């Protein structure tokens, strides 16, 4: 169970994080991503849009596996891809923000995370209570994640206004995906995107949303990469 505490140089002076265990809790089929990550994510993972079952809010998701609790990019706690989604790269830290005021954000750490519980690791503070490089890097990534939240919402508001969202149905061989649920997955409606007026297309371009739309669409090709990864892992098990 997670136990997030506000990071304090006195209380957590001796706290360390073991880099080899940062991805211990990353066995998930999807990773939430921010709009700023789309260029890097699109060349490594399929991107889909998920609708939260309770709030109805949309969010960008990088697909990491073909089954629940499956991350095909993890191998012995090592991430086998050129880019790690910030959501997992910033573990075991989170930002605690009140009233959307990033200037007063507080960094929290999950003291129950495997990387923190380890007997070895990198210190979060030096002997003068200054932040270590690993902590500074995590904070910078967390700030980027939080700053993108409003940008993400504006993106989805625009897509909804232009009716550019459509449900998707993935057809994947049952041998590779036994319980893949796509009921809440959406993608960009390419035909509707191409039918936008010049003024609408210009607005999307000016906001940077047009490029994001085409990158998300192009990332669908990465589903085959996931299938290939799954096949490779299954062959390894069979030949073990």
Contact residues for 213 (Cβ-Cβ < 8 A; gap 6+): 159, 164, 188, 193, 204
107 and 143 in contact (C-beta within 8 Å)?
Answer: no
pLDDT 10s digits, 175-234: 655 555 555 799 999 999 999 999 999 999 999 999 999 999 999 999 999 999 988 888
- Return the pLDDT at 186: 95
Chain segment 4-51, per-residue pLDDT in tens: 999 999 999 999 999 999 999 999 999 999 999 999 999 999 999 999
pTM of the shown model: 0.88
| Total tally of structural domains belonging to the chain | 1
Burial 48-57 (b: 16+ CB within 10 A, else e): bbbbeeeeee
Range of the domain at 150: 4-239
Residue 138 tokens read as: 């995590």
Better-predicted residue by pLDDT, 125 or 180:
125
Q: How far apart are CA 53 and CA 71, in angstroms?
A: 22
Alpha-carbon distance of 164 to 194, in angstroms, equals: 10
Q: What is the pLDDT of residue 200?
A: 96
């Amino acid at each position: 169970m997670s136990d997030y505490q506000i990071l304090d140089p006195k209380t957590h002076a001796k706290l360390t994080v073991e880099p080899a265990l940062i991805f211990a809790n990353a066995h998930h089929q999807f990773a939430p991503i921010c709009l700023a990550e789309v260029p890097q994510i699109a060349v490594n993972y399929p991107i889909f849009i998920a609708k939260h079952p309770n709030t109805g809010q949309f969010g960008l998701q990088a697909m990491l596996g073909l089954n629940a609790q499956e991350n095909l990019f993890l191998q012995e706690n090592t991430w086998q891809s050129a880019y790690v989604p910030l959501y997992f790269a910033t573990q075991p830290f989170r930002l605690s923000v009140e009233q959307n005021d990033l200037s007063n954000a507080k960094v929290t750490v999950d003291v129950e995370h495997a990387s923190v519980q380890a007997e070895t690791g990198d210190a979060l503070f030096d002997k003068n209570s200054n932040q270590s490089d690993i902590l500074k890097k995590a904070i910078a990534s967390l700030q980027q994640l939080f700053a993108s939240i409003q940008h993400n919402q504006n993106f989805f508001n625009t897509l909804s206004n232009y009716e550019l969202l459509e449900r998707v149905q993935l057809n994947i061989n049952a041998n590779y995906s036994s319980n893949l649920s796509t009921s809440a997955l959406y993608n960009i409606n390419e035909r509707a995107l191409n039918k936008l007026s010049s003024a609408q297309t210009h607005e999307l371009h000016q906001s940077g949303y047009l490029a994001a739309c085409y990158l998300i669409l192009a990332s669908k090709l990465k589903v085959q990469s996931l299938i290939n990864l799954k096949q490779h892992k299954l062959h390894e098990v069979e030949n073990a």
